[in-house]
Amino acid sequence: MVNKTPKKNPQKDSSSSRYTAADISVLEGLEPVRKRPGMYIGGTGIDGLHHLVWEIFDNARDEAMGGFCNTIEIVFLPNNRVRVTDNGRGIPVDVHKQTKVSALETVMTTLHAGGKFGQSGYKISGGLHGVGASVVNALSSFCRAEVHRDGAHYAQEYSRGEKKSAVKKIGSSKKVGTIITFEPDEQIFSAKGGSASGGKGEIPSFDWSTIVSHFREQAYLVRGLRISIIDARNYEGKINLDDVFFVSELGLEVLSVSFYFEGGIASLVQYSNKDLKSLHEEVFYVNKESEKVQVEVALQYVDDISSRILTFANDTRNPEGGTHLTGFKAALTRVINNYAKKNEIMKESEGGFTGDDVLEGLTAVISIKLENPQFEGQTKAKLGNPEARSAVEAVFGEAFSAFLEENPGEAKTIISKAILALRARKAAKAAKDSVLRKGALEGLTLPGKLADCQTKDASESELFIVEGDSAGGSAKQGRDRRIQAILPLRGKILNVERARIDKMLASKEVKALVIALGTSIGDTFDLTKARYHKIIIATDADVDGAHIRTLLLTLFYRYFRSIVEAGYIYVAQPPLYKIKRGKEISYAYNDQEKEKLVGKNTLEIEAVEPPEDELEPLPDRQAGSPLNLKPNRIHIQRYKGLGEMNPEELWETTMDPTKRVLKRVTIEDAREADKVFDTLMGSDVLPRKTFIQTHAKMANLDI
């Protein structure tokens, strides 16, 4: 049957005809920033909160890059306020010809206004001055800009991007520089990710370790710049900042850190490798200009199978790399191949090195400076300038080639490292081909003891990785078969921190997990083929369980990082105690919850529970109040492992999507995570011992 119903004319559709100019929204001033803060700072959680600090600091740092500033102070004050001071030239306060108001007000309240658009203010900068300052202003409930210049002290205050008064001269001053104080807006930021709808939430606290790590890195990048960080958030006394330029002058008894480095990025490479065994003592370094791009590169190889590369453009970190990284990799691969062939170090039958071969064990810092950086997004995650690639490739390629020729010992060590990587790559490919042949997951029995789920929709599928056959048995019986798959692992899997793929796939437990995931591994990895979008690690709440969990996280981080970054990895939170009296059953996930339920001095009975008829019913009590009962009437079962739970208990406490608690595994700082895995799972004992001694008091061990 043919449907002859005529199609509607979209031009005559009543809904489209009502689409008029009135439907077009025009956001004025800084309204776009408050409406879509994620476009400007990447998010409204803790990362976005930190980004506010980075933006104001970057403006001060650009003064240092221009040679106008040598000290920057960042102070964290009570009520989440942040104060950033630099001794640069001070933002101009005279009237701007175009806006007809003070240049300071223009910079703080207007997007895309500042001294970095033309060439008169800054030749080199990390971004566009005014974008960062105005964005921070827009997202702050309180903001105050102070300028010391021309013998005077000026100030202006704002709230949520709107000025509270005109720029005023509030006194005389012998200082020169700028002070920006801001308080993040509780309407925007919250511990749960924030909201731009006007609702208030609890603002997360600035993370001190993240702050210190970021500014240490910045101090390496700008030689001769002193960066001081002061944590006065918990200072109980009154801090009067009315006539204070640098807070350090007050001598407060608070936590403070200062950084000052003369060695530049070569020192940063050495710092990154301080807990690793270097393969050559001398750090390669070059600093030269090409095509109006200043190129600075430092590198050193270490005894490891991972690579660590940091990229910067105008001293702004580019976590996703960009054209400068592309040029570096191309030159590195070409130079090492040419040297190996020229000196007949590598057999012809082995072919040439790939990019992955020459990157293995490499620690490198690439820092370029150019006049008009083109970043993808306000967060400057990736550089897009095409001239950056050719400049880095030319400068680094020429200098590194000369380095190898002049240092034959270091060259031989580097080439030998690459040859080992090449041979391991070929062995790993052979191993993968035998295990992960094309179509291995289609129509064939899945490996190991995997009890797969019924659905083929990966977005609703869950894989529980459990410890041992006993826990596996309970999980298989208690699960929702439609969406939940169970994979029991026997014992502790291989520590893959320094294991290559061929050795890794020789482990039956690891191989079973790899095949079950469905993504393949290495250069054939494909995230879109993941069979489960929730991969849940469910191990016992003891030391052995924690070790197995760490081994699994090491495997995922080193070989399946994209799965972690996609948010597919979770850690289950099984209860430690089952508390029963009468027919009422409660579960406690830690000792604090248990004490809240039964009191601190209650006698715990962990033997076989008495019959139901021997238990008295619970007296009436308000929800959440402690059980004020006789000790011998409360029966507490302490779970030694998941295997002690029957299927119903495991489902109710750990697997039921409506009741369970899962922790999602994320990578907040990939470089710091890489360092931690190296320390804890590597072969060098001393760094691990030092780490454990330093963080021993933070551990919560159930031995």
Q: Which residues are annotated as a binding site?
A: 467, 540, 542
**Among residues 162, 544, 591, 616, which one is catalytic?**
544
Residue 542: active-site member: yes
| Beta strands 71-76 and 662-664, pairing class | unpaired
Phi then psi dihedrals of residue 32, to 5 deg: -60, -35
Which residues fall in the annotated binding site for Mg(2+)? 467, 540, 542
Q: Are the C-beta atoms of residues 137 and 175 closer than 8 Å to each other? A: no
- The two structure tokens encoding residue 695: 């963080």
Residue 467: active-site member: yes
Phi then psi dihedrals of residue 522, to 5 deg: 70, -140
DSSP letter string, 325-374: HHHHHHHHHHHHHHHHHHTT-S-GGG----HHHHHTTEEEEEEEE-SS--
**Among residues 55, 357, 393, 540, which one is catalytic?**
540
- The two structure tokens encoding residue 32: 């776009």
Calculate the dihedral angle through the C-alpha atoms of 602, 608, 614, 618, rounding to the nearest 10 degrees.
40
Count of CB atoms within 10 A of residue 545's CB?
Answer: 20
Q: How crowded is the C-beta side of 437, counted as CA atoms within 13 Å?
A: 3
Cα–Cα dist 638/662, whole Å: 21
CA distances from 490 to 466, 493, 543 (A): 9, 8, 16
User: What sign does the dihedral 407-412-414-418 (CA atoms) show?
Assistant: positive
Element (H, E) at 673: helix 670-681
Among 306, 299, 301, smallest CA distance to 279 is for 301
Among 472, 479, 484, 587, smallest CA distance to 539 is for 472
Count of CB atoms within 10 A of residue 662's CB?
Answer: 16
**Among residues 371, 542, 595, 644, which one is catalytic?**
542
Q: What is the C-alpha radius of gyration for the chain, rounded to an integer number of angstroms? A: 30
Q: Are the C-beta atoms of residues 190 and 204 closer than 8 Å to each other? A: yes
* Helix/strand/coil percentages in the chain, nearest 5: 40, 20, 45
Count of CB atoms within 10 A of residue 174's CB?
Answer: 8
DSSP letter string, 125-193: -SS-TTHHHHHHHHTEEEEEEEEEETTEEEEEEEETTEESS--EEEEE-S--EEEEEEEE-TTT--TTS
DSSP letter string, 604-642: P--SSPPPGGGSPPPPP--TT------GGG-EEEE-SSG
Q: How crowded is the C-beta side of 98, counted as CA atoms within 13 Å?
A: 6
**Among residues 55, 467, 497, 674, which one is catalytic?**
467
Among 508, 392, 518, smallest CA distance to 453 is for 518
- What residues form DSSP beta bridges with 159? 162
CA distances from 106 to 167, 168, 451 (A): 11, 14, 64
- The two structure tokens encoding residue 213: 């790590």
Q: Are the C-beta atoms of residues 622 and 688 closer than 8 Å to each other? A: no
- The two structure tokens encoding residue 282: 């001398």
Among 314, 46, 60, 368, smallest CA distance to 204 is for 46
Within 372-467, residue ranges assigned H as helices are 386-406, 408-435
| Residue positions annotated with a catalytic role | 467, 540, 542, 544
